[in-house]
Structure formats: structure tokens, C-alpha cells
Amino acid sequence: MNRADDTLAVEIWKGGTDGRLAAFEVPLRANQTVLDVVTWVQRHRDPALAYRFACRVGMCGSCAMTVNGKPRWTCRTHVAKVAVERHLTIEPLRNLPVIKDLACDMTVFFEKWQAARGRFEGRTTRHDEVVQLAPDTPARVAIDAGIECINCAVCYAACDVVAWKPDYLGPAALNRAWTLQNDTRDAGQEARLAAVAGDAGCHNCHSLQGCVAHCPKALNPTAAIAGLKRAVFRAALSGDL
Amino acid sequence: MWSSYLYVAQRLTAFVLAPLVLVHLALIVFAVQDGLSAAEILGRTRGSLGWGCFYGIFVVAAAIHAAIGMRSVAAEFLRWRGWGLEASATCFGLSLIVLGARAVAAVVL
């Protein structure tokens, strides 16, 4: 393709699941992010382009897309680091239904968080003392390792097991369940262990570590899932499952 | 929950198989030192309660382990679910037990 040195050739997914890639030429800028590129296309070339973002600073987990075949958070992904010969292909996340263009339906992703009981269940009231969690205990260290998840679904899109077995709960929901299983204040651990031991649960993970390779927060959901597997294993042997 | 117990069974049979496979591989290397012949193999195994138990346990553990593994492969790559999957995996495991037991009986009895 003949194009000026200061432009970027961008292909963006248009339509639903049966859509196709549309080509755009976008001005190349210093420190440009992939989200900047998508925004430029919407503002200058295709006002109907659908995509999702909110914070633009890597906190909200809204803007994940597939960039040159890999799931990424687009607001913190610099074009200079991912463009191949000034070319970008931007598609919606894998493993989720496409609503339109780059916007996926996240419903199933968040339903799986609930299915894994990924919510805190307290045992105290406002009248009780605030429970102290010592920062150096093994349980607190395990929580710290997984607590920074921003629900961006990059790990879910990267997971081959989800692609092969769509009912699998996936790395994000199980990572969240593991942080709660280590929370000494939580009262729902027995039910949560049963939830992650179900047929769609943690033992489906093959430790392929696509989630680890792509997590923008550098978390290790595979390690969290391994922790859940050990807990399920012990519970099954002791008849507590 | 059923597949969690299958996961546990597959891991437990892996614990059993790990040392058995190592002994089996070492035996293969040892057995061919003086040439591999039916007489040499049968001389070692025929009437041996120890080798009978060794390979009997090997067969049962391998059949359980492999059947659970094949069940996962079929579920993921063929999108197979339901009673057909469970029945096929069970038949596969039972077939391995029958074939393996027949082989063990042939060299021990």
C-alpha cells in the first residue's frame, strides 16, 4: 500500500459477528494509543463506529479490544509498540458476543463472576469492630497478588479453554473467587468453593497461561486457579465438597 | 461437581502412575540388554505375583486416567456433552481395563 510516512493503515471490525474489516488511514502521532486511533476514526471518518471506553487511564477496564490478534487494553497500548509496519488490525474481544463493531456484550462475563460467587459476603455489622488483616500473612499476600483486577476481560478473551468450552467460568471470575477464599472476613467460602468446583469450574483450566501472558495488570490468574484446584482437591478428599 | 471428582481421580491415578511408569521404562531398558524374546519376558513374569500386581495396578490406573483425559478432549474439541460423552468415556475406560487385564493375564498366568 502506498501511503505517507506520517499515516497509519488501520483495519477496524465493522458490524456484528458476521461483520468484516473496514480500512482507514489515520494520522500517526507521537505517544498515540490504540484508543486514540479508534477515537480519531469515529470523529473524522466513521461517526457510527461503536466502541467502549471510560477512564482512558487503565482503571476502568472498558476499552479492551483485539489489537493485531492479541487482546489488549487500548488506552494504555501505544501504537508504536504494537503496529507492524505502521499497520493495525482492531477487532472486538474474542469469546464474547459482538454487539456492534468493537463493542462486546459483557453480560456473560459478569454473570460468570456471580456464578463463581465473586462477591464479598460479610459476617459482621456496623456495630462490630473493624477486622484487621495483617499485611504479611500468607492469605493477605495471596489476596494482594490478585486484587488489582479491573474486569477488562482481556484474560477471558485470551483463554483458549473458554474458546473450547464456553460455559467455563474463566480466569477473571476464578481469580476473584480465589481472593475471596483467602479473605478471613468473608462468610461465603463454603458455597464459593462448591461454585468453583462445578462442571464449569476451576479444574477445566489447563494452565496454558494465556491469561498471564496478556493480563495488562500483570496478574497471574493461573496461579489463583491452581490455588482453587488445591482447595477443591482437599475438600473432595475430606468429603467437604 | 461430578467433574471435580473426576479431576481428583485423574490426579490420584497420576500419583500412582508416575513411579509405575518410571519402573516400566527402566524395565524396558533392562529387558533388552540380552535381546528381547518372548521366552525371556515370560521367564520373568510367568507365575509372578509381584509383576502381576504391578501391571494390574498399572492397567487400572492408566484406564481411569486416560478415560477422564479423553472425556475432556472430547468435551473441548468435539463440543460433546451429556450422557453420550459420559457413556463413551466409561466404555473407553472399561475397554482399556479389559484389554490391559487380558495382556497382564497372558504374561503372568
For the segment A122-176, what is each residue's pLDDT rounded down to a tens digit? 989 999 998 888 999 999 999 999 999 999 999 999 999 999 999 999 999 999 9
Query: How far is residue B78's CA from residue A237's CA, in Å, rounded to a whole number?
Result: 31
Contact criterion met (CB below 8 Å) for A225 and A199: no
**CATH H superfamily, domain A7-104:** Beta-grasp domain (3.10.20.30)
Interface test with A, best of B8, B10, B80, B85 (most A CBs within 10 A): B8
- In the predicted structure, residue A28 carries a pLDDT above the cut 90: yes
Domain boundaries, chain B: 2-108
Give the pairing of strands A7-14 and A87-91.
parallel
Quote the pLDDT of residue B39: 83
Contact criterion met (CB below 8 Å) for B50 and B16: no
Report the candidate in A179, A183, A167, A169 with the shortest Cα–Cα distance to residue A211. A169
- In the predicted structure, residue B35 carries a pLDDT above the cut 80: no
Q: Which residues of B touch A237 (CB under 8 A)?
A: 8
| Dihedral angle over CA of A30, A100, A165, A179, nearest 10 | 60
Q: Which helix (H) or strand (E) holds A237?
A: helix A221-237
Cβ distance A237 to B8 less than 8 Å, yes or no, reads: yes
Spell out a b/e string for A58-94, using b for 16 or more CB atoms within 10 Å of the CB, else e.
eebbbbbbbbbebbbbbbebebeeebeebebbbbbbb
Interface test with B, best of A160, A164, A230, A237 (most B CBs within 10 A): A164
CA nearest to B8 within chain A:
A233
Cβ distance B3 to A237 less than 8 Å, yes or no, reads: no
Q: Which residues of B touch A95 (CB under 8 A)?
A: none
- In the predicted structure, residue A221 carries a pLDDT above the cut 60: yes
Q: Which helix (H) or strand (E) holds A143?
A: helix A138-146
- Taking residues A3-19, what's their average pLDDT? 91
Cβ distance A233 to B7 less than 8 Å, yes or no, reads: yes
Quote the pLDDT of residue A2: 58
Domain boundaries, chain A: 7-104, 107-237
Min Cα distance A238 → chain B (Å) is 12
Contact criterion met (CB below 8 Å) for A116 and A171: no
Count contacts between A and B (CB, < 8 Å). Answer: 35
Give the count of beta carbons closer than 10 Å to the beta carbon of residue A28.
16
Distances (CA, A) of A108 to A105, A170, A239: 8, 11, 31
pLDDT tens per residue across span A38-51: 999 999 999 999 99
Distances (CA, A) of A126 to A134, A182, A197, B73: 21, 22, 32, 50
Give the count of beta carbons closer than 10 Å to the beta carbon of residue B109.
9
Query: How far is residue A34's CA from residue A24's CA, in Å, rounded to a whole number?
Result: 13
Domain covering B2-108 assigned CATH 3.90.1150.10 in the classification: no
Q: Which residues of A touch B75 (CB under 8 A)?
A: 165
Query: How far is residue A114's CA from residue A100's CA, in Å, rounded to a whole number?
Result: 25
Domain covering A107-237 assigned CATH 1.10.3720.10 in the classification: no
Q: HSE on the CB side for A226, CA within 13 Å? A: 10
- In the predicted structure, residue A186 carries a pLDDT above the cut 80: yes
Q: Which residues of B touch A232 (CB under 8 A)?
A: 4, 7-8
- Taking residues A181-192, what's their average pLDDT? 94
In terms of Cβ atoms closer than 10 Å to its own Cβ (0-12, 13-18, 19+), residue B39 is: exposed
Quote the pLDDT of residue A60: 96
pLDDT tens per residue across span B46-104: 888 899 999 999 999 999 999 999 999 999 999 888 899 999 999 999 999 999 999 99
Q: Which residues of A touch B72 (CB under 8 A)?
A: 204
Complex ipTM over 0.85: no
CA nearest to B78 within chain A:
A164
- Taking residues A88-116, what's their average pLDDT? 97
Report the candidate in A196, A231, A226, A230 with the shortest Cα–Cα distance to residue A211. A226
- Taking residues A56-80, what's their average pLDDT? 97
A58 phi-psi bin (left φ>0, alpha ψ -120 to 50, beta other): left
Quote the pLDDT of residue A3: 67
